[in-house]
């Protein structure tokens, strides 16, 4: 994604340089700054549109990563609940049909206990999600700031080249554009790099934490299952 952006921006600079030559050839037929302004406007428009696409792709990746983590938390919790639901149901039926067994637990307490323990298993994933929400939002804003800078370039550089009385003025405007574009290009590349680092690191951390959460919830399922099967045995003996 990043190299694609860089490629296109580099191409824009080359295109711009070509247009400069054309402009000098046709100089006599035009005013000093008209065509330059048009070229700069068009190039800035193309650059903004390319960068917008890149930003949208970045936002899509951020959204997918976020949905991935949310999905993992939901699936983990739902799976553990599903694994326990049979033994919880059986035990509850047994207790209800045998008034003599006097269980040391209630269904509500047990559900609360399971929910709390599973919540503990996915706690790290939850805080990873929060951190990612903030960091990725900031990274995206950084990238968008560079797009804004490109959009403002024609106006900014036109001010420098706006004097029709000064034949060098329009050259000043285009130098301004080329220099500013190169700088924005660099900043944009860095901000995209920063954003992809956040994505990669979050993916890796999420993978590790999903593994931990799976082990943790398997232990909860085992522990609660064992406890309930013991309760069933005691109930049958009473």
Q: Which residues bind ligand NAG (CB under 6 A)?
A: 56, 59-60, 63, 105, 110, 113, 117, 142, 187, 190-191, 194, 224, 227
Q: Using the minimum distance from each CB to ligand NAG, give the nearer residue, 144 or 212.
A: 144
Three-state DSSP at 44 gives helix
CB of 168 to ligand NAG, least distance (A): 33
Q: Using the minimum distance from each CB to ligand NAG, give the nearer residue, 190 or 212.
A: 190
Q: Using the minimum distance from each CB to ligand NAG, give the nearer residue, 153 or 195.
A: 195
CB of 7 to ligand NAG, least distance (A): 19
Q: Using the minimum distance from each CB to ligand NAG, give the nearer residue, 19 or 50.
A: 50
> Which two three-digit tokens encode residue 147?
């797009």
Q: Is the dihedral of CA 225, 227, 229, 232 positive or negative?
A: negative
For residues 7, 10, 14 and 16, what is the CA-based torsion angle, rounded to 10 degrees? 120
Instruction: Look at the block and give the residue holding tokens 């405007």.
Output: 173
Distance CA 214, CA 84 (A): 15
Distance CA 218, CA 195 (A): 34
CB of 116 to ligand NAG, least distance (A): 7
Three-state DSSP at 32 gives coil
CB of 99 to ligand NAG, least distance (A): 21
């Amino acid at each position: 994604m990043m190299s694609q952006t860089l490629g296109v921006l580099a191409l824009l600079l080359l295109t711009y340089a070509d247009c400069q030559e054309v402009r000098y050839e046709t100089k006599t037929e035009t005013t000093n700054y008209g065509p330059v302004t048009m070229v700069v406007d068009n190039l800035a428009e193309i650059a903004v549109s390319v960068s917008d696409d890149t930003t949208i792709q970045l936002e899509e990746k951020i959204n997918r990563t976020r949905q991935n983590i949310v999905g993992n938390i939901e699936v983990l919790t739902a799976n553990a609940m599903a694994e326990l639901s049979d033994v919880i149901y059986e035990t509850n039926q047994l207790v209800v049909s045998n008034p003599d067994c006097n269980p040391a637990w209630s269904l509500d307490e047990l559900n609360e206990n399971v929910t709390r323990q599973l919540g503990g298993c996915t706690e790290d994933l939850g805080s990873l999600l929060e951190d990612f929400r903030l960091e990725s939002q900031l990274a995206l804003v950084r990238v968008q700031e560079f797009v804004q800078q490109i959009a403002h370039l024609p106006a900014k550089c036109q001010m420098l080249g706006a004097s029709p009385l000064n034949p060098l003025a329009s050259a000043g405007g285009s130098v301004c554009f080329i220099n500013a574009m190169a700088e924005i290009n660099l900043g944009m590349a860095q901000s995209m790099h920063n954003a992809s680092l956040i994505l990669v690191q979050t993916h890796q951390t999420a993978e590790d934490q999903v593994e931990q959460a799976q082990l943790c919830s398997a232990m909860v399922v085992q522990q609660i299952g064992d406890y309930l099967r013991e309760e069933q045995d005691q109930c049958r003996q009473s």
